Amino acid sequence: MYFFPFVRISACAGLLAALWLAALPGRAQAPVYRFDLRAEKLDVPASAWQVTHVLDLRTDRSQLGSIHRGLGNQLVPATFAQPLAAEVQQLITTQLPARAGARPVILRVFALSIGEDLRPTSEHGEAELVADFLELLPDSTFRVLLPVGETTRRGGLDVTKFHPTNIALVLQQALRRLAALPTAPPTAETLSRADALAGRGGAAALRFAVQAAAAPKRGFYRSLQEFRDNAPTDPGQPFLVTHVPHAGKRWAGSDEIQASYLYLDATHPARPVPTGDLWGLSDGQELFIAYRNRFYQLLAAPDGRSYTFVGPPVFNPQVAAGRAAATIGGGLIGGALAGAAYGPDLMAPYELHLASGRVLPVQDAGQTDADGFAKAAATAQVYVYRTADAARRTTLTLRANGQPARDLPARYFMPITWENRRTELQLCMQAGTGPETCQSFMPSFDQPTYLECTVPADGGAPVLRPVSAKDGAAAVRRMQSVLTADPSDK
């Protein structure tokens, strides 16, 4: 974390300051979308277990995912109105009151995310949960009761409104599996307290048979579970998988996969293997997933917990809208739908999450690594500024995560850079000789966070209020223009 005090910039530094000012985010940025689970329900039967504590062990706690907002379908980060652990625990406690004799368990959340799959004629909201349930034992160790991986997908006209329900549904699916567990498994893994709290073992270390096998078994996978268990079914007829190379930019060096039954007799002719009732297949050497009516080769990802494949182009609503407008403007209305259906028409990288079975494209142009997979911003930018409030003559100090306190006069701002996606940023404020008050939150790594600070005239505690990127950037720009003004111009 880097904590920068406000600085009065001299006139000779005006050019550098102006360049820095120009790099501040513009007015077109949309605010973070925040929601809660207060209106959601959980339909879970009574069981021997009761979730008494939730641990947020996600590697990135800054958001739940990105959603499309506005007429231009702009991607904006989305998250809960309060920290994840508090939001999930509140839902469980409210919907599943404690029962006498229920044994307490801890819910460790490794992944809880949402997303939106937009296509030319449809859109779907998705949610995913990867977690486990631990039981505290008398010797202060923890027993792994149940690792879970859940996903859901729901279509509609405006899928953004489905996200709270989708999250509640994946939690409900996991809690139902816990409720169906009468006792702890006899071979359950036991974790030390340190390992349990640090997120080691359990779901984090779960590996499936297909990953451990020297070679996959030949056959058809009719479900995700058959794939994970490396237990395909017999297709009943010999088949052949062929790689068909394609030149050109669209395929980006990947091959088209064709699976065909071999000819046996008139009643068993050679023909393509249909994808309709298959999850995937293996020829005994390579793995393939059936996705959107085609087969694609699966490759193990470096993280050891997922697979990747190069699949169909990803629909880009912004590019599609631009293409349609250009096509219609050129008088080719009939070709607008076909020509604007997809963005750059390039094959795209996808991920298969083994724990849940979720398949999702890895996109966001300009935010990918050399292999085409997304890379998130390394730092979060936070700007705290103080307005010219009624108590503007009162001294205000601001402290971030244990760093030395800095004065924040009225009409000044402080930039803070935060690099830890797993720990909340804590800001503590003190007005005059009053008590210090602190607030903790996870800033967005997708766009700057702006906080407006005011000091009540009656001597009350200072108040931090989040503001939109548009209003915050405008306020900081005004303050910066005053700070960088040449004294000779006055």
Residue 454's CB: how many other CB atoms inside 10 A?
Answer: 20
Q: Are residues 155 and 268 in the same domain?
A: no
Shared domain for 73 and 136, answered yes or no, is yes
Q: Are residues 100 and 201 in the same domain?
A: yes
Residues 189 and 213 placed together within one structural domain of the fold: no
* Domain CATH code at residue 483: 2.60.40
Whether 158 maps to a domain, the answer reads yes
Are the C-beta atoms of residues 87 and 166 closer than 8 Å to each other? no
CATH number at residue 115: 3.40.50
Distance, CA of 269 to CA of 278 (rounded, Å): 20
Residue 460 lies in a domain: yes
* Residue 479, pLDDT score: 83
User: Do 102 and 245 share a domain, yes or no?
Assistant: no
Domain end call among 180, 205, 230: 205
Tokens 């599996």 belong to residue: 177
Is 324 part of any domain? Answer: no
Does any domain span residue 320? no
Q: Decide if 81 contacts 36 (C-beta within 8 A).
A: yes
Same domain, 225 and 189: no
Looking at the fold, whether 386 and 267 belong to one and the same domain comes out as: no
pLDDT band at 14 (very low <50, low <70, confident <90, very high): very low
**Interatomic CA distance for residues 115 and 131, integer angstroms:** 18
Q: Taking residues 68-92, report their average pLDDT.
A: 88
Does 462 map to a domain? Answer: yes
27 has pLDDT over 50: no
The two tokens of residue 82 are: 């309060």
Asked if 102 and 201 sit in the same domain, the reply is yes
- Please report whether residue 341 resides in a domain: no
The amino acid at 340: A
Is residue 379 within 8 A of residue 417, CB to CB? The reply is: yes
More confident residue, 320 or 108: 108
Instruction: Dump the DSSP string for 345-357.
Output: ---EEEEEETTT-
Flag whether 369 is in a domain. no
Does the pLDDT at position 475 exceed 60?
yes
How many CB atoms sit inside 10 A of residue 490's CB? 5
Residue 371 pLDDT: 41
Q: Which residue has the tokens 């990127």?
A: 469
41: Cβ–Cβ under 8 A, 6 or more apart, which residues?
95, 168
| Residues 164-208: tens digit of each pLDDT | 999 999 999 999 999 999 887 878 999 999 999 999 999 999 999
Give the CA distances from residue 161 to residues 78, 100, 128, 329, in Å, rounded to whole numbers and listed in that order. 12, 36, 16, 34
The more confidently predicted of residues 329 and 172 is 172
Are 163 and 227 contained in the same domain? no
**Could you tell me which residues come within 8 angstroms of residue 195 by beta carbon, excluding any fewer than 6 positions away?**
142, 201
Q: Rounded to an integer, what distance in angstroms lies between the CA atom of residue 289 and that of residue 312?
A: 13
Shared domain check, 215 and 147? no
Residue 335, in any domain of the structure: no
pLDDT of residue 316 exceeding 80: no
- List, for residues 248-307, the tens digit of each pLDDT value: 777 776 899 999 999 888 888 899 999 999 999 999 999 999 999 999 999 988 776 789
- Residue at a domain's end among 177, 205, 233: 205
- As a whole number of Å, the end-to-end CA separation of the chain is 37
- Residue 451, pLDDT above cutoff 80: yes
pLDDT, one tens digit per residue, over 84-137 is 999 999 999 999 998 898 999 999 999 999 999 888 888 899 999 999 999 999
User: Are 127 and 194 in the same domain?
Assistant: yes
The boundaries of the domain holding residue 219 are 209-312+347-354
Q: Say how many domains are in the chain.
A: 3
Q: In degrees to the nearest 10, what's the CA dihedral of 342, 345, 347, 351? A: -20
Domain boundary among 321, 354, 387: 354
Say which amino acid occupies 2.
Y
State the pLDDT confidence band at 320, using cuts at 50, 70 and 90. Answer: low
Residue 394: pLDDT band (50, 70, 90) is: confident
Q: Do 161 and 179 share a structural domain?
A: yes
